[in-house]
Amino acid sequence: MENIIEVKDLNKTFLLGELTVDVLKGINMSVEKGEFITIMGPSGSGKSTLLYLLGGLDKPTTGKILIKGQDISALSDEEQSIMRRREVGFVFQFYNLVPNLTVEDNVMLPLLLDGKKISKYSDKLDEILDVVELSDRKKHTPRELSGGQQQRVAIARALINEPDIILADEPTGNLDSKTTEEVMNLFQKINREKGKTILQVSHSLETAKYGNRIINVKDGRVWE
Ligand code: ADP
Ligand code: MG
């Protein structure tokens, strides 16, 4: 099996004034195409930092991240932002939707930012809204939706560019248990039926059950 993600001796240090904080201390891991991985670990252990680096939202201090064999830290800023838009979709705990845009505009936003003509994508939009079961909410704004529905809009937005990898940082951290189940079922469907590789950060073993493997991060390192 091909590794879609490979991380080699990854380190991340933040500078806080005079202080240096070593957040990731030699992370090694690989992810096969089609896996659904849960990253677990105590608060402050570096899980979000790891996810941001994998998604090209920040750069490593040292070490390598290979996405489909390509070292993303060796890319120029522009190449990195192209990679970020094409290869990965991001889902956040607090949805990060634009409040005054409709559901359809929120979902289309990555295409707009990519300079694409969105009129060409109306079939794609309909297909994705069908997957997340929000076809009847196209013209609604986020405040007219429940938390679970808002997260499903965010998942649709993550899918619109057809990335192979979905990165989700505590996607159900703000949801009740019934809604959590709905959202996790949706991730599972996207993983199994669409073949997306998913990495989620989660605190709960309950949601880890939907994935095929757990990676434990503690004190900036991966523990088996
Ligand atoms: P987790 O997601 O596991 O709770 P994070 O990756 O958010 O942990 O944070 C790990 C550590 O890195 C924390 O101590 C946090 O304060 C620090 N940190 C994260 N981002 C930054 C940043 N941009 N600047 C400085 N310190 C940061
Ligand atoms: Mg975090």
Task: Supply the CATH number for residue 45's domain.
Answer: 3.40.50.300
Dump pLDDT digits (tens) for 103-154: 999 999 999 988 899 899 999 999 999 999 999 999 999 999 999 999 999 9
> Is pLDDT at 41 greater than 70 in this prediction?
yes
- Asked whether residue 56 is domain-assigned, the answer is no
- State if residue 21 touches ligand 1 by the CB under 6 angstroms criterion: yes
Six token digits for residue 189: 């469907």
What was the ipTM of the complex prediction? 0.98
Is the minimum distance from the CB of 150 to ligand 1 under 6 angstroms?
no
* Number of CB atoms found within 10 A of residue 20's CB: 11
Asked if residue 198 is part of any domain, the answer here is yes
Tell me the three state secondary structure of residue 212: coil
Helices then strands, counting H and E runs in the chain, come out as: 7, 10
Judged against a pLDDT cut of 80, whether residue 224 lies above it is answered with: no
187-221 residues labelled b (16+ CB within 10 A) or e (exposed): beebbeeeebbbbbbbbeeebbebbeeebebeebe
Strands 36-40 and 213-218: parallel
CA-wise closest residue to 4 among 67, 86, 80? 67
* Closest residue by CA, ligand 1 atom 20: 49
- Report d(CA 216, CA 223) in Å as an integer: 5
Q: Is 21 domain-assigned?
A: no
Q: Is residue 95 part of a domain?
A: yes
Which residue among 48, 54, 167 is best mutated to probe the pocket of ligand 1, counting the most ligand atoms within 8 A of its Cβ?
48
Q: What does the angle CA 28 – CA 91 – CA 34 come to, to the nearest 5 degrees?
A: 55
Counting the structural domains of the chain, the total is 1
Domain span including residue 138: 34-50+73-221
Which residues partner with 200 through β-bridges? 38, 168
Instruction: Please check whether residue 15 lies inside any domain of the structure.
Output: no
Q: Give the model's pLDDT for residue 1.
A: 60
Among the bound ligands, the one closest to the CA of 49: 1
Grouping H, G, I as helix, E, B as strand and the rest as coil, residue 5 is strand
pTM metric for this prediction: 0.95
**Residue 47, ligand 1, Cβ within 6 A:** yes
Distance, CA 58 to ligand 1 centroid (Å)? 12
Q: Is the CB of 20 under 6 A from ligand 1?
A: no
